[in-house]
Structure 1
Amino acid sequence: MEIQDLLNQTSKLPNVPEVVRELIQTLNSDNADYSDIATKVAKDQTISLKVLRLVNSAQFGLSRKVASIDEAIVILGMDKLKILVIASGFAGSVSNLEGIDIKSFWSDSFQIASLAKWLSLRTDKIDADNAFTAGIIYNIGRLLLHVAEPNRAKAIQTLIKEAKVSRTAAELEMLGFTSQEAGKALLEMWKFPQELSDAVYQYKKPLAFNPASPLSAVLNLACYLNASIREDREPEVVKEFIPKKVLELAGIDSSIIENLDEALCLESGLDGLVA
């Protein structure tokens, strides 16, 4: 099987709203017209309703009800609004999928995104918005596989469970390529920034590439911390085994290890966007 076989099934691909793509494209632009983006967000009723529902939830603890996107910008600022719009746009791209608990899938992605942003704030190599967006889309290749080839996706899950092999090994055996390669190809087809597609492709083995992507290192660390939270590992164990070379690639000083308790208590607060 070829990756293009997945990409050719355009009718089944996740439908990411245009306003979300535009927002991602402008993340590193000094000339971004965010007022224009906000206007387009306001016209997308689905995203607007989800964002406003979350803004008005107990998570944000606002003293009064927010009724419009313009008002949300004033109260939250554009940075937080960008996060909510991007997360909402992706979470709404696929609502039901065979072989995947879609709420758990996006909850995991939101957690990775939040951890990636937490890590990015401790290095000058990576933009925090890019880190968050990379976390949202880090597993987009697996989503594509379940959308386009649900039977193959289920066969891979069975092979992982019964043969006790890694997902990478199972994908290579069943497909001839990995979901990271598929994710990179999809993001390139969507014309996402190269930094994001490279990070999605490299994050499982960030030290194996030349040039190596600091953003892929942050994603790798976010996945390590997320697995530690999920498996309820002792903080001292997490600190001992965090990959030091990956920290170095990300440009994060090893002194962060003493502050990992904060990351291990982190919650995305975005699960309300999945409905």
Structure 2
Amino acid sequence: MHIQDLLKQTDKLPNVPDVVRELIQLLNDPNAKYSDIAARVSHDQTISLKILRMVNSAYFGLARKISSIDEATVLLGMDKLKTLVIASGFSSSVNKVDGINLPEFWVDSFRVAELSEWFAKRSDLVKPDEAFTVGIVHNIGRLLLHLTAPDTAREIQTLVANRKASRVKAELDLLGFTSQDAGKALMDLWHFPKVLGCAVQEHKRPFAQGEPNPMACVLNLAGYLNACIRTERDLDLVREGFPMAVCKAAGLSEGIIYELDDALVVNDGLSYLLH
């Protein structure tokens, strides 16, 4: 099987709104007019309604009801609006996927995004908004695989569940590539910034290509902490297993290990977008 065999099935690819793709393409553009993007968001009824519903939720606890995207932008700032638009657009991109519990999948992705942003804010090498975005899409290749090759995806899941292979090994054995490779290929198809696709492709094995990509390292750390949260790992064990080499390559100080208790309680309020 080749990655292009998956990408050719255009009718099965996630349907990411144009405004979300444009926003991601503009992440590296210092001349981007985000006011234009806010106007575009206002015209996308599905996304704007979801964002306004969330902004008016108990999570934000605002004193008055917000009725427009322009108001939301003023109150939250463009950075927060960007994260909400990207999270909303991706979580609405598919309605049903064989073999994947979508609410769990997106809650997991949202938490990795928040953790990636948390680490990026403490590094001079990675931009927080890019780290957040790459966290949202870090597992998009797995979603693609289940949409376009469900039988093979189930076979991989069975091998992993029965502990006969790691996910990476199972994918390489059955596909000849990993879901991270597929994720990068899909992001390239969407013309997303190369740095995002490379981070997705490399984050499971950040040292495999030689010089590590700092954003891939941030994503790797976020994935590690997310796994610790899912398994309710004790803080001492979290610190003991924390990959310090990856931490250094991400541009983080060794002292970050004493802040991990804060990261473990990062609130993924984005789950409101799934309601």
The two structures share one fold, judged by TM-score above 0.5: yes
The answer for the alignment partner of 2:185 in structure 1 is: 185
Distance 2:144 2:201 in 1: 14
The answer for the alignment partner of 1:217 in structure 2 is: 217
The answer for the alignment partner of 2:127 in structure 1 is: 127
For 1:143, give the aligned amino acid. L
Q: Describe the SS at the equivalent of 2:162.
A: helix
The answer for the alignment partner of 2:64 in structure 1 is: 64
Displacement of 1:270:
0.6
The answer for the alignment partner of 1:248 in structure 2 is: 248
The answer for the alignment partner of 1:169 in structure 2 is: 169
Work out whether 1:99 is the aligned partner of 2:99: yes
Distance 1:67 1:31 in 2: 28
Distance 1:17 1:135 in 2: 18
Distance 1:168 1:68 in 2: 44
Displacement of 1:142:
0.1
Is contact 2:113–2:134 with CA below 8 Å preserved after alignment?
A: yes
The unaligned stretches of length 5 or more in structure 2 are none
Distance 1:68 1:38 in 2: 10
Displacement of 1:95:
1.8
Distance 2:265 2:133 in 1: 21
The answer for the alignment partner of 1:262 in structure 2 is: 262
The unaligned stretches of length 5 or more in structure 1 are none
Which deviations, in whole Å up to 9, do the C-alpha atoms of 1:38-91 show, x marking residues without a partner?
000000000001111111110101011110101100111111000000000000
Distance 1:75 1:88 in 2: 18
Q: Map 1:40-79 onto structure 2 (within 5 A).
A: 40-79=40-79
Q: Which has the larger displacement, 91-100 or 129-138? A: 91-100
For 1:157, give the aligned amino acid. Q
The answer for the alignment partner of 1:19 in structure 2 is: 19
Distance 1:221 1:162 in 2: 26
Work out whether 1:147 is the aligned partner of 2:147: yes
What TM-score results when the alignment is normalised by the length of structure 1?
0.98
Work out whether 1:227 is the aligned partner of 2:222: no
Distance 1:253 1:70 in 2: 38
Q: Describe the SS at the equivalent of 1:208.
A: coil
Provide closer, same or farther for how the CA distance between residues 266 and 18 of structure 1 changes in structure 2, counting only shifts above 3 A.
same
Q: Describe the SS at the equivalent of 1:181.
A: helix
Question: How large is the RMSD of aligned CA atoms in angstroms?
Answer: 0.9
Which deviations, in whole Å up to 9, do the C-alpha atoms of 1:197-219 show, x marking residues without a partner?
00000000112223321000000
Displacement of 1:164:
2.9
What TM-score results when the alignment is normalised by the length of structure 2?
0.98
Displacement of 1:163:
4.7
Distance 1:57 1:163 in 2: 41
For 2:140, give the aligned amino acid. I
The answer for the alignment partner of 1:159 in structure 2 is: 159
Distance 1:198 1:100 in 2: 24
Q: What stretches of structure 1 move > 4 A for 4+ residues in a row?
A: none
Distance 1:176 1:267 in 2: 37
The answer for the alignment partner of 1:138 in structure 2 is: 138
Distance 2:163 2:127 in 1: 40
For 1:230, give the aligned amino acid. R
Provide closer, same or farther for how the CA distance between residues 257 and 21 of structure 1 changes in structure 2, counting only shifts above 3 A.
same
Q: Which has the larger displacement, 173-182 or 191-200? A: 173-182
Is contact 2:41–2:69 with CA below 8 Å preserved after alignment?
A: yes
The answer for the alignment partner of 1:203 in structure 2 is: 203
Distance 2:203 2:255 in 1: 22
Which deviations, in whole Å up to 9, do the C-alpha atoms of 1:94-149 show, x marking residues without a partner?
12111100000000000000000000000110000000000000000000001111
Is contact 2:2–2:176 with CA below 8 Å preserved after alignment?
A: yes
Q: How many residues align?
A: 275
Displacement of 1:157:
0.8
